[in-house]
């Protein structure tokens, strides 16, 4: 099925934000974007409304539309939410396998290919592909858990989380260790180990949240968590690596 014009505009705008072509606080030239995509401004405006809901742009009356300037505090609160969502999603999905509501082979066939593809994109040059696969892996677990609120909540925040990856050096994430955690998540779900799945899913995000909190304290000693994301590069030498995925 062909994508609607607004979907095409959304994908193009999202790609520009995730790739860093549209930087934080940059105004979005709606007319120029519409011309580039060979469409009217209406579908572009519709796409921007969706991106506003995703937390990636700000639409300011009489001023224009701007790529949202996410602070480290924004990212920390996102991880606080996701840590809880993914823990419960892992628990519920493992529980559904244990109770026979989901087949272990079916779940493995759905989730394992993400892990294989992620392991094929561990090089720094493939960071964006790896991050996208990581988000889709976790979104799929949320979709499988049987709780639509968890699934929709994760979907609403995942693009905001992925958008910061273009500003975060791969030094912060030990992706090989992260892959071991992804396999452990899958094994816990397939074995119906609800508590094991919950704990691994939560610790997977908790490691990165700790790195972000440490970074915020280094950048803003008197005002923790308020620094902008541009501070990642400034603090790089003193930060350790996180085992968990972004």
More confident residue, 211 or 236: 211
- Name the least confident of 8-17, 110-119, 201-210: 201-210
User: Does the pLDDT of residue 244 top 80, yes or no?
Assistant: no
Q: How confident is the model at residue 47 (pLDDT cuts 50, 70, 90)?
A: very high
How does pLDDT run across 141-152, given as a tens digit for each residue? 999 999 999 999
Q: What secondary structure does DSSP assign to 142-172, as a single string?
A: HHHTS-HHHHHHHHHHHHHHHHGGGGS-GGG
Calculate mean pLDDT across residues 8-21: 86
Q: Do residues 158 and 109 touch, judged by C-beta distance below 8 A?
A: no
H/E/C letters for each residue in 111-140? HHHHHHHHHCCCCHHHHHHHHHHHHHHHHH
More confident residue, 140 or 82: 140
Calculate mean pLDDT across residues 103-124: 95
Count CB-CB contacts under 10 A for residue 120.
12
More confident residue, 29 or 170: 29
């Amino acid at each position: 099925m062909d994508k609607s014009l607004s979907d095409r505009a959304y994908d193009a705008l999202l790609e520009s934000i995730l790739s860093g072509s549209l930087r934080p606080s940059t105004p979005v030239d709606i007319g120029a974007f519409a011309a580039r995509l060979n469409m009217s401004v209406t579908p572009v405006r519709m796409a921007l409304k969706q991106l506003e809901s995703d937390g990636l742009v700000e639409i300011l009356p009489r001023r224009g539309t701007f790529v949202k300037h996410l602070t480290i505090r924004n990212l920390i609160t996102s991880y606080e939410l996701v840590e809880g969502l993914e823990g419960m999603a892992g628990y519920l999905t493992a529980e559904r396998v244990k109770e026979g509501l989901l087949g272990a082979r079916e779940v493995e066939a759905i989730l394992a290919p993400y892990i294989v593809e992620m392991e094929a994109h561990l090089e720094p040059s493939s960071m964006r592909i790896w991050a996208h696969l990581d988000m889709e892996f976790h979104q799929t677990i949320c979709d499988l858990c049987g709780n639509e609120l968890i699934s929709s909540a994760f979907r609403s925040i995942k693009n905001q989380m992925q958008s910061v990856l273009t500003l975060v050096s791969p030094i912060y994430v030990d992706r090989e260790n992260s892959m071991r955690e992804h396999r452990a998540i899958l094994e816990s779900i397939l074995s119906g180990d609800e508590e094991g799945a919950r704990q691994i899913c939560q610790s997977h995000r908790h490691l990165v949240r700790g790195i972000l909190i440490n970074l915020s304290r280094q950048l803003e000693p008197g005002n923790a968590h308020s620094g902008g994301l541009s501070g990642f590069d400034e603090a790089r030498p003193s930060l350790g690596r996180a085992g968990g995925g972004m």
